[in-house]
């Protein structure tokens, strides 16, 4: 009996091991044929003022440099509609109370950013600042007048000049925030609802002929009017700023879809219909580069239970892939002549706060948003001082989303091309969502892979050598966790395991991991001054002469794609015979006792 029980236990163990090693086989990969130009794609954050000190804290500034965002939005979203750029806080005497939030002026903001990080400035169209001389609580006629608009434009230009004096002209201007709601935060674009003997009347926009707002019988009709009023204001603002800053980019305020017949749909239809068909807005249509959308995983989307185990973590992470897929219609509604800037996106239902799952879900969101199509140009996570991005302390530490952003920047910064990676072995993680997702990025100096594993399975042999055209060393940076549901984790905690390693052609995509593989273009790196080595004739038919003050040691010839086609360990009389090469363009790596240099050569 004991022997039988032993055999049964052994068989059970063997079955379990076989299940665990199902994906220990090689996972082959291919690249999609489509190569996307991403030279203008920007990944970054929305900023906002919180209690405490952030933008003057040295540890926070260091973390911003580590995350290396392409772009940061200033001053924020809703806060922009109340912003006084001169003081770095809200305009006084409004419905918003400043409290103990951090004051952040333009110079303070700019000084905290990495040199390469660009800014999107959300101008305050909703309300006049004190510098305009107009009272924020003046009559509706004054606040909506052309005279006040001109005062606000002067104030906007002064703000842009303040950016310039601080050393960083805004990359783009975003024309206000979320006016489609028509609420009090919308300022002059608010839709007033008045009860008239049991009948609700709606007032919006401005009827100059009657010196009064237009009256409507529904909020949808009132939204049409306020959207048109917004376009009229935007037209004047863009024209004035373009006169001084002709290369400035602009983004209009639009929205994701609603329930099919909501104010959101009416706002969008009014904006797009007038841009495409109304001659009054022809110039504005030509001057606008992008439109904005805001998306949040909230209490009306997906699961609402706080994660406590790996199974629940998989569900939360997979929503990062699935949500943008579910919002493809919002991508499609934007005309193809405009880019989409997702200037706010994130998660507000708080089911995975300060867990590695939140970081992996962030990476999944970035991947999936980019995968919607080439209209996607900017992604601003909301917000950079969120607890999931930076853990408060002395010093502050990168929280899971901050770590994920650091890895995404490592893979994507300054890249010009992107291709999707296909995985031949890619089982479902949960709810119909696969396990592995990835992109290859490339520029003239290096190629990188960003591969995420959102499942609880280790893929121990993922093939990557076929994805590279450059022949340098393959360097892997990997972050993963075996318990991504643990709360309160940050960089350096034992729960988040990091690895830096040199790999060769394959790697282990661990469960719940973000992986970056980098390969430098060895044909673009010189150790010595290229002018210290000369070669002739070029073009060459057979014998090539190489002149150098240093001692020639070794010469390799590479095809233009990086494949080694010829090598010599000894150089006689400073010449090499290249007659065996076929005609074409080549790269020579010339090694001397003082270093290496690369030279282009034409063989005829």
Distance CA(135)–CA(128), nearest Å, equals 7
Question: What confidence tens digit (pLDDT) does each residue in 104-163 have?
Answer: 999 999 999 999 999 999 999 999 999 999 999 999 999 999 999 999 999 999 999 999
pLDDT at 186 over 90: yes
pLDDT at 599 over 90: no
The mean of the pLDDT values for the chain is 93
pLDDT at 1 over 70: no
Topology of domain 22-32+418-523, per CATH?
A: Immunoglobulin-like (2.60.40)
Distance CA(71)–CA(171), nearest Å, equals 9
pLDDT at 9 over 80: no
Question: What confidence tens digit (pLDDT) does each residue in 293-304 have?
Answer: 999 999 999 999
Report which of 572, 571, 419 is spatially closest to residue 589, judged by C-alpha positions: 571
Question: What confidence tens digit (pLDDT) does each residue in 202-213 have?
Answer: 999 999 999 999
Residue 80 pLDDT: 98
Give me the long-range contacts of 322-329 (CB less than 8 A, separation at least 24).
Answer: 322/368, 322/431, 322/433, 323/295, 323/297, 323/365, 323/368, 324/295, 324/365, 324/368, 324/369, 324/371, 324/372, 325/368, 327/256, 327/295, 327/372, 328/372, 329/257
Q: Output the six-digit token pair for 470.
A: 């450059």
Distance CA(221)–CA(316), nearest Å, equals 38
Domain boundaries, the chain: 22-32+418-523, 39-189+220-411, 527-603
Task: Say what percent of the chain tops pLDDT 70.
Answer: 94
pLDDT at 483 over 60: yes
Residue 15: pLDDT band by 50, 70, 90 thresholds?
A: very low
| Full 3-state SS string of 71-93 | EEEECCCHHHHHEECCCCEECCC
Q: Output the six-digit token pair for 476.
A: 């892997």
Same fold: 39-189+220-411 with 527-603: no
Query: What is the architecture of the domain spanning 39-189+220-411?
Result: Alpha-Beta Barrel (3.20)
Question: What confidence tens digit (pLDDT) does each residue in 519-564 have?
Answer: 988 766 666 676 678 999 999 999 999 998 888 888 888 886 667 7
Residue 566 pLDDT: 86
Span 372-382, mean pLDDT?
97
Question: What confidence tens digit (pLDDT) does each residue in 266-289 have?
Answer: 999 999 999 999 999 999 999 999
Total residues found in the chain within this entry: 604
Helix H or strand E encompassing 461: strand 459-463
- Helix, strand and coil content of the chain, in percent to the nearest 5, comes to 30, 30, 40
Span 310-330, mean pLDDT?
98
Distances (CA, A) of 413 to 40, 172, 343, 445, 456: 11, 19, 19, 12, 29
pLDDT at 571 over 50: yes
Residue 524 pLDDT: 64
Residue 22: pLDDT band by 50, 70, 90 thresholds?
A: very low
Q: Which residues does 214 contact at the CB level (< 8 Å), separation at least 6? A: 203, 204, 205, 206, 207, 222, 225
For domain 527-603, the CATH class is mainly beta
pLDDT at 439 over 90: yes
Q: What is the pTM of this model?
A: 0.86
Residue 14 pLDDT: 37
Per mean pLDDT, which range of 18-22, 74-78, 109-113 is the poorest? 18-22
Question: What confidence tens digit (pLDDT) does each residue in 229-259 have?
Answer: 999 999 999 999 999 999 999 999 999 999 9
Residue 13 pLDDT: 37
Residue 19: pLDDT band by 50, 70, 90 thresholds?
A: very low
Count of Cβ atoms closer than 10 Å to residue 24 Cβ: 14
Residue 527 pLDDT: 66
Q: Which residues pair with 449 in a beta bridge?
A: 440, 517
């Amino acid at each position: 009996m004991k022997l039988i029980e032993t055999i049964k236990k052994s068989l059970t163990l063997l079955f379990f091991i076989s299940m665990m090693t199902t994906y220990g086989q090689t996972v082959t990969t291919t690249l999609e044929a489509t190569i996307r130009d991403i030279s203008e794609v920007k990944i970054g954050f929305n900023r906002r003022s919180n209690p405490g000190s952030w933008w003057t804290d040295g540890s926070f500034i260091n973390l911003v440099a580590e995350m290396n965002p392409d772009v940061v939005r200033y001053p924020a979203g809703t806060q922009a509609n109340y912003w006084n750029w001169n003081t770095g806080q809200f305009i006084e005497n409004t419905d918003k109370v400043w409290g103990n939030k951090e004051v952040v002026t333009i110079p303070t903001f700019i000084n905290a950013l990495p040199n390469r990080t660009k800014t999107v400035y959300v101008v305050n169209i909703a309300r006049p600042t004190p510098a305009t001389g107009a009272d924020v609580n003046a009559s509706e006629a004054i606040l909506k007048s052309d005279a006040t608009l001109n005062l606000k434009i002067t104030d906007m230009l002064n703000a842009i000049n303040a950016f310039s004096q601080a050393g960083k002209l805004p990359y783009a201007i975003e024309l206000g925030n979320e006016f489609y709601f028509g609420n009090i935060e919308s300022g002059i674009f608010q839709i007033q609802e008045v009860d008239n003997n049991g009948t609700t009347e709606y007032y919006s926009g401005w009827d100059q002929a009657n010196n009064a707002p237009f009256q409507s019988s529904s909020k949808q009709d009132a939204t049409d009017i306020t959207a048109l009023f917004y376009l009229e204001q935007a037209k004047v603002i863009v024209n004035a700023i373009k006169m001084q800053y002709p290369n400035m980019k602009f983004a209009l305020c639009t929205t994701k879809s609603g329930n099919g017949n909501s104010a959101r749909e009416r706002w969008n239809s009014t904006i797009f219909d007038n841009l495409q068909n109304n001659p009054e807005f022809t110039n504005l249509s030509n001057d606008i580069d992008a439109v904005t959308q805001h998306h949040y995983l909230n209490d009306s989307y997906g699961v609402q239970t706080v994660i406590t185990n790996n199974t629940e973590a998989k569900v939360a992470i997979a929503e990062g892939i699935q949500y943008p897929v579910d919002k493809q219609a919002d991508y499609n509604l934007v005309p193809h002549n405009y880019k989409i800037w997702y200037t706010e996106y994130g998660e507000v239902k708080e089911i995975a706060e300060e867990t590695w799952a939140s970081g992996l879900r962030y990476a999944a969101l970035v991947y999936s948003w980019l995968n919607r199509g080439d209209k996607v140009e900017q992604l601003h996570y909301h917000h950079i001082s969120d607890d999931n991005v930076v853990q408060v302390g002395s010093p502050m530490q990168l929280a899971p989303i901050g770590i994920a952003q650091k890895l995404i920047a490592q893979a994507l910064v300054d890249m010009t091309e992107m291709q999707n990676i296909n995985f031949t072995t890619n089982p479902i993680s949960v709810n119909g969502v696969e396990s592995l997702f990835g992109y290859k990025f490339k520029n003239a100096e290096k190629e990188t892979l960003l591969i995420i594993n959102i499942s609880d399975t280790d893929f121990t042999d993922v093939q990557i050598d076929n994805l590279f055209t450059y022949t340098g060393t393959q360097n892997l940076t990997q972050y993963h966790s075996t318990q991504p549901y643990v709360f309160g984790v940050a960089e350096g905690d034992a729960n988040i395991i990091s690895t830096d390693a040199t790999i060769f052609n394959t790697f282990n995509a661990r469960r719940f991991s973000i992986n970056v593989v980098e390969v430098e273009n060895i044909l673009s790196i010189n150790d010595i001054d290229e002018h210290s080595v000369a070669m002739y004739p070029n073009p060459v038919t057979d014998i090539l002469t190489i002149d150098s003050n240093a001692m020639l040691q070794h010469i390799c010839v590479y095809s233009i794609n990086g494949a080694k086609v010829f090598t010599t360990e000894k150089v006689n009389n400073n010449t090499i015979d290249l007659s065996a090469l076929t005609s074409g363009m080549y790269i020579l790596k010339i090694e001397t006792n003082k270093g290496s240099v690369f030279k282009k050569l034409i063989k005829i």
